[in-house]
Structure 1
Amino acid sequence: MFNDDDPRLSQLLDGIVRLASGDLQSRIEVSPARDELDAIIMGTNLLAEDLQIIYEELEQRVEVRTQLLHEAHREMQKMAMQDPLTGLANRSALLAALKSSQDGDDQTQTQPVILLLDLDAFKSINDTLGHAAGDEVLITVAERIRNAVRATDVVGRLGGDEFAIVMPATSVDQAAIVAQRILAALKEPIELPDRTIRCGASIGLSIGEARRTPEDLLMEADVAMYASKAEGQNRLHVFEPGLLLVRRLRSQLLDDLRAAIKGEGLVLHYQPVVELDSGRIEGVEALVRWNHPTRGLIMPDEFIPLAEDAGLISELGLWVLTTAVGQLRTWIDAGVADSRFSVRINISATDLQSLQFIEDVRGVLKETGVRPEQVVLELTEVAIVKGNELDRYSLGGLRGLGVGIEIDDFGTGYSSISYLRRLPVDRVKVDRSLIVGLGTDPSQPPLVAAVLQLVRACGLEAVWEGVETAEQAEHLRSLGCLSAQGYFFSKPVPPENIPELLARTSA
């Protein structure tokens, strides 16, 4: 039993109260008696020590977790303002930097400037070399831009192949100097693991006046950049208000093109491909035209790039494929075309990157009942020679359907005879530039003969494009060339004119 008058009881109670209030460093003195009460006091002190250790460990864990949360928050903020591929600022960070520059430059004579940059050849790089190569190009471009700008400038990637540079307190002349440095840096070749490529750029410049919102300035720089692209590669264009009208007209034209693809605004004209020895029309090339309700007939050079920029090229290509093969079916049913007659259809590098395209071709052949060998698909030389594995898989799949495959624009700078031996193609269409001097330049016949020999060494035949005179046609025939196409034989004509041309040549 404890003595109620023992002062240790009071000390014990006081110690427990202090511990309960959170004073874990409090300890109760143990008496020399070492009796049962002292044993309780010692146990209480041990409990206090354990609680103190647990509390200190808990505080340390909370501190570490809090630090980790702060670091994670900072990393998330950084990621929210950074392009993950290039490490540059993203759109949000650029707009914030532009607004900050506008706010900070109110009292100065100069305003911030924004440069917007778009790569000129990136789409073809992605289509032909694949997205991994495209990413390497973007990383290299980002580094070159960083090295070309000033330390105070903010470089960002808006997405895809679009980059922007915010230049605080800058004159237009200073910004133009930096822009020219960027263009010079991007003209230099880019080394990829298995090839060297060149990738220029077009730049638009907008002046960051205080009354303009950052979004407006970015839009104006974008408008100026498109004007630069329209003038040619590796150019700089400064925004002018009149460009907004051009932008609106382009936007309206794009809406009209979408409607034309879905409606009846597009038409096909057909240009004969002629057998040189007999003059027989062996087939036709389908060439798309746009019959605009107010602008009249628009040629493909104007609207094909528009379709590519807007991502409509595959939809347009499917319309051409369906319409051309359907027209061939009509000619066959009318007895106009025989089983040797073929239709040539241009397809894009984008089509080869889509496995759906093979199914589209299969579906059109099945629906029309046209024999596969009467359909020839034409691809540009750069697309077929520099294509990636998916392109080659698509070519193999198309060849498996039995359709013909022909290289268009052969001899325009990408020629690789070794590729011709390996790729599943039937013919090449030799570019018109190789026969321009035929009949006037004595060096041309040997060149034509050499090209023909190289093509035939690969087990292929050639169609000669751009024949405009009887003399050119006779030279090609005398050299042993089999087929040709050009204005000498016929311009592209509407489908209703083809029966008359076929009747005339057969007669």
Structure 2
Amino acid sequence: MRPLVSGLQAKFAIAMAIMMVVVLSLLATLLHRQSTMQAEVAELGRQAMHGMVEENLQRQGEAAVEQLAEMLANPLYYFDLEEIGSVLRSAQKAPDVSYALVYDAQGRIIHDGTDEIASYGRQMSDPLAYEAINGDKLTTQWSADVVDVSEPIMVGEQRLGGVRVGYSIASVRAHETSALAAAKQRLDALGQRHLLLVGALLAALMATCVVVVVLMQRTLVRPIRDLAAAARAIEAGNYESGRMVSHRRDELGELMRGFSTMSESIARHDRDVRRMAYTDSLTGLTNRLAFRESLDHRLMMVRGAGRHLALLFADIDDFKRVNDTLGHEAGDEVLLQFANRINESVQLLGGDDALLARFGGDEFVILIQDGDVRARATQLAENLVAELSRPLLIQDRQVFLGTSIGITLFPEDAAGASALMKNGDIAMYQAKVAGKNCYRFYSRAMDQAVERRVRMEQELRGAWERGELSLVYQPVVRLSDGKLVGAEALLRWQHPELGMVAPSVFIDVAEQSGLIEVIGPRVLRAACAAAARWGFEDDTLEKPFISVNVSPRQLRSGDLPETVAECLRETGLAPGRLHLELTETAVISDEAHASALLSTLHRAGVKVWLDDFGTGFSGLSHLRRVPVDGVKIDRSFIADMLRDPDDLALTTAIIAMAHSLGITVVAEGVEQEGQLDLLRERGCDLAQGYWLGYPVSAHELNQMAS
């Protein structure tokens, strides 16, 4: 830096010497050219002042009109003429303003600032009006008398009209002439004083040059050097070194204090940006970016040292249901309560170096580093499953969710951060597949399972269009007389390579991937179309019904009644012949939402059955609050009722209690004659199973019904 400073001082000294030579040279010609110079200066001053006045007038007008356009947007949108007039009258009080107008999008005057608004509704037709009306931005026009500044008034993308302000050029010219006259007088007086002062100034000039050189070093060069050093410190990221203290009262002192303030502001904003970049805005936890950087750093520290790490990926089960049914504010409250519970468990069981982060959505990740990480991760996962399965109080309602946790270990499972995070996701996904609200450790076999599942999901897309998916129908028999009264539609997948894929496999894939929302309505439509063709030759006899399984996703989507109505309308099937089967857990997971949808279906004449009844936790008390027409006793009770007195007693109790509520009882999975006899003795209404009939095609069932 010092060579630059020395160069600045040398250049300044040379400039001072040249200035002295020039001054002495000019002194010889100054006297006889004084009058000419005064004339030239006066003319240049007039031109400069003229340009400056025009520029200042235009700038002042544009600034004022921009402010007016902003102030008038709301009053014009609400057509508040009183407020518009108040704003215009304030604008008209400004110096040199000839007029101020507000007009609509067609150029009709809305307000002219007067109390009577005599020109209201009048079309603006002056020469400058066209550009003002059609201009799409701030427009300045000049005429012989006025400077017209206009700007459209917008609300969003809608143009409401515009505002025009005219400034008198004559008034401005008068100010300009007056200023020029005063300047000429001062110039003449200056010329006379100049002759007297030149001699004295020449004497003082030499002494002044010496003083200036000395002062320049102390007051200019040194502060510039300090500013340059501070700038380099800020460039290097050392914001503290950029702070400077100056007690000077001049502009350079203000510059140094401003530079110091700027450094403090940059440091503060840097801290804020880092906090925002590395912190989750909702929960205040570490976010994905900060967690990844910390994970990379810790892996670098422990790699080769024989130490271990564990990552726990925790995902809230059925979180989407909260957002869909209670709203996103409730979802945020769920996330906050989950974050607090997880944080408490991590502080209790995770160790001093544990790190908790939210990766976005409903996914939380925990890093454990202390001690036996496998044992500590297991203990923490068990605690989280227990704590997060406890009900949450959201908007005065109890919400039951739970969490699925995947655990991966370093270095057993992977040596890099990306692979570890991928493995944690896979393990968490397997926990969800295993039934949710549990935890799973990563294993290499999971990769193959995920690949198979992904492949199955890809092949399931379009399977309906390729004709691989089809429906079969299992007969439902009335036990009192053994008559066929209906059938349950069952989906089958005949894969060209894998053969017949078990429904328990591909239905779960469709449910998890969301494909069920596409396949479900097609199944419903096809089943209704088939049932519409069934019937007896005698039209007086009861035609068989069709029962169709409905996915929990279809129930949560909220458009199930519309889909059912559309299917019935297209196929012509009577609503009373359609029975929808929903699982017990799907209904009780959000009883209020399910009850509203089922009530709509019930009013339309469609019947609703609860499938797999007895396997959930609701009990028959929920049947009083949810409008259902029938319950299907789960096949696990029917299978063991001949040898397990408890299953027989439970089946008997379900039949009796359902009948007391006027609800039909269906037994599924009847495969033995003894089961059928016991069910008939206990008054069960309907039954289905291999003993009564295997699933058949729609044509075969139609022949059975005939």
Instruction: Give the alignment's TM-score, normalised by structure 2.
Output: 0.58
Q: Within 5 A, what are the aligned runs for 1:208-247?
A: 213-227=416-430, 229=432, 234-240=438-444, 242-247=445-450
Q: CA separation of 1:402/1:84 partners in 2, compared to 1, >3 Å: closer, same or farther?
A: farther
Cα distance, 1:489 vs. partner? 1.0
- For the 8 Å contact 2:413–2:442, the answer to whether it is kept is no
Query: Which piece of structure 1 moves more, 351-360 or 368-377?
Result: 351-360
* Unaligned residue ranges in structure 1 (runs of 5+): 15-22, 24-50
2:509 is equivalent to residue 306 of structure 1: yes
Query: Which piece of structure 1 moves more, 409-418 or 302-311?
Result: 409-418
Q: 1:136-176 CA deviation, whole Å, 9 max, x = no partner? A: 554444334332322323222334443322345x68x4244
1:180 corresponds in structure 2 to 379
Q: Within 5 A, what are the aligned runs for 1:364-383?
A: 364-383=567-586
**Aligned partner of residue 246 in structure 1, secondary structure:** helix
- For the 8 Å contact 2:561–2:601, the answer to whether it is kept is yes
Structure with bigger gyration radius: 2
Q: CA separation of 1:244/1:384 partners in 2, compared to 1, >3 Å: closer, same or farther?
A: closer
Q: CA separation of 1:84/1:186 partners in 2, compared to 1, >3 Å: closer, same or farther?
A: farther
2:368 is equivalent to residue 164 of structure 1: no
Whole-Å separation in 2 of the counterparts to 1:379 and 1:58: 74
2:282 is equivalent to residue 95 of structure 1: no
**Aligned partner of residue 101 in structure 1, secondary structure:** helix
Whole-Å separation in 2 of the counterparts to 1:489 and 1:157: 54
1:77 corresponds in structure 2 to 274
Q: 1:189-231 CA deviation, whole Å, 9 max, x = no partner? A: 4232243746253323142599955323322332344445556
Q: Which amino acid aligns with 2:490?
A: L
Cα distance, 1:362 vs. partner? 1.9
Query: Which piece of structure 1 moves more, 437-446 or 177-186?
Result: 437-446
Cα distance, 1:485 vs. partner? 2.0
- For the 8 Å contact 2:545–2:578, the answer to whether it is kept is yes
Query: Which piece of structure 1 moves more, 283-292 or 398-407?
Result: 398-407
Cα distance, 1:443 vs. partner? 5.8
Whole-Å separation in 2 of the counterparts to 1:357 and 1:61: 65
Q: Which amino acid aligns with 1:223?
A: I
Q: 1:445-496 CA deviation, whole Å, 9 max, x = no partner? A: 6544432332233332222223222222222222222212222212333334
Query: Which piece of structure 1 moves more, 386-395 or 55-64?
Result: 55-64
Whole-Å separation in 2 of the counterparts to 1:65 and 1:272: 81
Q: Within 5 A, what are the aligned runs for 1:30-429?
A: 70-110=267-307, 112-119=309-316, 135-146=332-343, 147=346, 148-167=349-368, 173-188=372-387, 189-193=389-393, 194-195=397-398, 197=400, 199-207=402-410, 213-227=416-430, 229=432, 234-240=438-444, 242-331=445-534, 340-429=543-632
- For the 8 Å contact 2:493–2:501, the answer to whether it is kept is yes
Q: 1:89-116 CA deviation, whole Å, 9 max, x = no partner? A: 3332222222222333345233544333
**Aligned partner of residue 331 in structure 1, secondary structure:** coil
Whole-Å separation in 1 of the counterparts to 2:340 and 2:484: 55
Whole-Å separation in 1 of the counterparts to 2:671 and 2:253: 93
**RMSD, matched Cα:** 4.1
**Aligned partner of residue 580 in structure 2, secondary structure:** strand
- For the 8 Å contact 1:467–1:488, the answer to whether it is kept is yes
Count of residue pairs the alignment pairs up: 472
1:501 corresponds in structure 2 to 704
Q: Which amino acid aligns with 1:409?
A: D
Q: 1:278-316 CA deviation, whole Å, 9 max, x = no partner? A: 111111111212211211111221122222222222112
**Aligned partner of residue 353 in structure 1, secondary structure:** helix
Q: CA separation of 1:318/1:81 partners in 2, compared to 1, >3 Å: closer, same or farther?
A: farther
* Unaligned residue ranges in structure 2 (runs of 5+): 1-192, 210-218, 220-247
Q: Which amino acid aligns with 2:286?
A: A
1:458 corresponds in structure 2 to 661
Q: CA separation of 1:118/1:369 partners in 2, compared to 1, >3 Å: closer, same or farther?
A: same
Q: 2:670 aligns with which of 443, 462, 467?
A: 467
Whole-Å separation in 2 of the counterparts to 1:190 and 1:261: 41
Whole-Å separation in 2 of the counterparts to 1:210 and 1:444: 45
Q: 1:74-132 CA deviation, whole Å, 9 max, x = no partner? A: 33433333333433333322222222223333452335443333455656777787766
Whole-Å separation in 1 of the counterparts to 2:530 and 2:467: 15
Q: CA separation of 1:106/1:84 partners in 2, compared to 1, >3 Å: closer, same or farther?
A: same
Cα distance, 1:397 vs. partner? 2.9
Q: Which amino acid aligns with 1:367?
A: E
Whole-Å separation in 1 of the counterparts to 2:630 and 2:254: 79
Query: Which piece of structure 1 moves more, 186-195 or 134-143?
Result: 134-143
Q: Which amino acid aligns with 2:365?
A: A
Whole-Å separation in 2 of the counterparts to 1:286 and 1:85: 46
Query: Which piece of structure 1 moves more, 77-86 or 346-355?
Result: 77-86
Cα distance, 1:379 vs. partner? 1.1
- For the 8 Å contact 1:410–1:428, the answer to whether it is kept is yes
Q: CA separation of 1:501/1:97 partners in 2, compared to 1, >3 Å: closer, same or farther?
A: farther
Q: 1:395-449 CA deviation, whole Å, 9 max, x = no partner? A: 2333343321122222223234443223222222222344444444556665444
Whole-Å separation in 1 of the counterparts to 2:503 and 2:329: 31
- For the 8 Å contact 2:594–2:626, the answer to whether it is kept is no
Whole-Å separation in 2 of the counterparts to 1:398 and 1:197: 26
Query: Which piece of structure 1 moves more, 352-361 or 208-217?
Result: 208-217
Q: CA separation of 1:154/1:440 partners in 2, compared to 1, >3 Å: closer, same or farther?
A: closer
Whole-Å separation in 2 of the counterparts to 1:154 and 1:497: 62
